[in-house]
Amino acid sequence: MSNQEAAFPPTIVITGPTAIGKSALALALAPRFGAEIVSADSRQVYRHLDIGTAKPTIAERGAVRHHLVDIVEPDQPYSAGSFRRDAESALLELGRRGQVAFLVGGSPHYLQAVVERLEIPPVPPQPELRRELEQLARVHGPEALHERLRRVDPTAARQIPATNIRRVIRALEVYEVTRIPFSEIGRRRGPPLPALRLGITTDRKTLYNRIDKRVEMQLRAGLVEEARRLLGMGFSAELPPLAGLVYREAIAIARGEIQLAQGARRMKETTHAFARRQYTWFRRDQGIVWFELGPGLAARVAAAIEEYLSNWRTAR
């Protein structure tokens, strides 16, 4: 084991599609292993976005210490590169304190940045370029934007669907600044982070039902009011965290542009589509050990963690 590897704590990745129950499982198991949770959710980093991101409650964060939740404002730029820096800092802190780390979330690119140690150039957001690309997508459609990416980086275009406008724009942004294809940057890696990668999964019908129930719960909990409050705080609806899952529709409901029932239906449909994209990412990672949602899940996962930690301690 290298000195660099030894500095990190034993790390357990708990991932899977949205609404599968990753956070609940991590909260249930963390006390058993003396673990702290490092969130790998690309939206829970933002303050004020609580209901729409299914953020752990204050009580849950009091029961198990969480890292990388509520660390930036919604209008502050934050990227996978930022996440790798902050996550590694949190992991090194846990390593110094002799803690176990649960790296928990369903944002595949964020997880990949840390576990595979992606070397991501620090390309800050380019507001003028982003506005130009967003306008291209609005006027000519996402496919026109995707075609622009295909011309400069066909590999990235095959990996990123045209419907993921934000990701297409980021790939074009990085290329315009560095003149290096985004797909080439994604293949540059440092030494991988030793970690046990666990995934929670279920059949599509069950997952969609879980998603739908969560959307309904979020609406009852005040999601539209949360969106209205964010607008009242001066945050633009065009900001990336507010233009994504459920918030786009919640803002439209708050503004009276669509009815509640229509907004709820759209939230469910877009979240279903997001879950399908997550699985596209997950299928590329052959290192994930998958567990089916169902009775005895916590015990099955705990047994895998026990074995990994035993081997980790022996290796040291």
pLDDT of residue 188: 58
Residues 18, 185: Cα–Cα separation, whole Å: 27
Higher pLDDT, residue 291 or 183: 291
Chain mean pLDDT for the chain: 92
Confidence band for 29, pLDDT divided at 50, 70 and 90: very high
pLDDT of residue 4: 57
Give pTM, 2 decimals: 0.84
For 174-188, 252-266, 275-289, 291-305, which range has the lowest pLDDT when averaged over its residues?
174-188
> What amino acid is encoded at 32 in this protein?
R
For 57-61, 159-163, 269-273, which range has the lowest pLDDT when averaged over its residues?
159-163
Q: Average pLDDT for residues 113-142, to the nearest whole number? A: 85
Nearest to 173, CA basis, from 132, 143, 130: 130
pLDDT of residue 316: 76
pLDDT of residue 221: 98
pLDDT of residue 5: 62
Residues 316, 314: Cα–Cα separation, whole Å: 5
Please check the confidence at residue 2 and state whether its pLDDT lies above 70: no
Please check the confidence at residue 181 and state whether its pLDDT lies above 90: no
pLDDT of residue 187: 59
Confidence band for 119, pLDDT divided at 50, 70 and 90: confident
Q: Residue 187 corresponds to which tokens in the numbers above?
A: 């293949």
Q: Average pLDDT for residues 164-171, to the nearest whole number? A: 87
Q: For residue range 222-239, what is the model confidence (pLDDT) as tens digits? A: 999 999 999 999 999 988
pLDDT over 90 percentage in the chain: 72
Q: Do residues 104 and 39 make contact, with C-beta atoms less than 8 angstroms apart? A: yes
pLDDT of residue 212: 98
3-state secondary structure of 97: helix
Please check the confidence at residue 294 and state whether its pLDDT lies above 80: yes
Please check the confidence at residue 146 and state whether its pLDDT lies above 90: yes
Confidence band for 290, pLDDT divided at 50, 70 and 90: very high
- The distance in angstroms from the start CA to the end CA of the chain is 8
pLDDT of residue 293: 97
| Backbone angles phi and psi of 66, in degrees to 5 | -115, 145
> In Å, how far are 66, 74, 82 from 54, measured between CA atoms?
14, 16, 22
Q: Average pLDDT for residues 203-232, to the nearest whole number? A: 98
pLDDT of residue 79: 84
pLDDT of residue 186: 57
Domains recognised in the chain with CATH numbers? 3-119+189-315 (3.40.50.300), 127-186 (1.10.20.140)
Partner residues linked to 292 by β-bridges: 201
